[in-house]
């Protein structure tokens, strides 16, 4: 069960019968926050899952409009999804941030930190705006992941701010060792 497969199954459980495009939009809306899935991936994955019996495929026959395929979970798909949800997960993600690579290899601190700080600040503001839409309604999952995003953006802002202040103090001043 790859992450993309889990996403497709999980979203189709919510959506009922839907097209690959619907799944892609739902993924953007609900997961875009911490996980992007290009549409080409979604098309490939629905096809694959259908071939493996996790999804049932059906051509959409509504008169107007272009031909397309609708998918829904089979019993097998439901079972696989439930099993995935139950499995614990001890693996840790990597930061894998290209900006840290540049930092490691001695990029100019002021330039890099400035650009990153601005971008992370914008992201934080966007997340906070989104969070204010939370009405407390179920399901909680999406809001919890949004909170994770906010906490991480906060530390990024802190991290790059410290570096920027260190850099402005001049190259001789010891950076970031409070």
Residues in contact with its own copies by CB under 8 A are 3, 6-7, 10, 30-31, 34-36, 81, 84-108, 111-112, 114-116, 118-120, 123, 136, 139-142, 144-145, 147-149, 151-152, 154-155, 158-159, 163, 174-177
**DSSP3 helix / strand / coil % (the chain, rounded to 5):** 60, 5, 35
Q: Which is nearer to DNA, 91 or 137 (CB)?
A: 91
Binding of residue 57 to DNA (CB under 7 A): no
Q: What whole-number distance in Å separates Cα of residue 52 and Cα of residue 118?
A: 45
Binding of residue 20 to DNA (CB under 7 A): yes
Pick the binder of DNA from 9, 11, 12, 22 (CB under 7 A): 22
Which of DNA, its own copies, none does 172 bind, CB closer than 5 to 8 A by kind? none
What would the 3-class secondary structure string for 126-155 be? HHHHHHCCCCCCCCCHHHHHHHHHHHHHHH
Q: What whole-number distance in Å separates Cα of residue 50 and Cα of residue 74?
A: 9
Question: In terms of DSSP bridges, do strands 18-19 and 69-73 run parallel, antiparallel, or are they unpaired?
Answer: antiparallel
Instruction: Write out the residues near DNA by the rule CB under 7 A.
Output: 2-5, 19-22, 25, 36-41, 43, 47-48, 64-69
């Amino acid at each position: 069960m790859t992450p993309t497969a889990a996403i497709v199954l999980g979203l189709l459980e919510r959506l009922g019968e839907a097209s690959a495009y619907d799944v892609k939009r739902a993924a953007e809306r609900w997961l875009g926050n911490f996980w992007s899935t290009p549409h080409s991936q979604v098309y490939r994955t629905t096809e694959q899952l259908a071939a493996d019996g996790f999804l049932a495929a059906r051509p959409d026959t509504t008169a107007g409009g272009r031909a397309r395929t609708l998918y829904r979970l089979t019993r097998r798909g439901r079972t696989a999804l439930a099993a995935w949800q139950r499995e614990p997960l001890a693996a840790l993600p990597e930061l894998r941030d290209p900006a840290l690579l540049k930092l490691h290899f001695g990029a100019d601190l002021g330039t890099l930190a400035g650009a990153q700080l601005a971008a992370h600040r914008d992201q934080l503001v966007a997340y906070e705006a989104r969070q204010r839409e939370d009405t407390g309604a179920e399901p909680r999952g999406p809001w919890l992941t949004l909170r994770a995003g906010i906490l991480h953006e906060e530390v990024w802002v802190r991290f790059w701010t410290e570096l920027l202040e260190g850099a402005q103090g001049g190259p001789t001043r010891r950076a970031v060792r409070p």
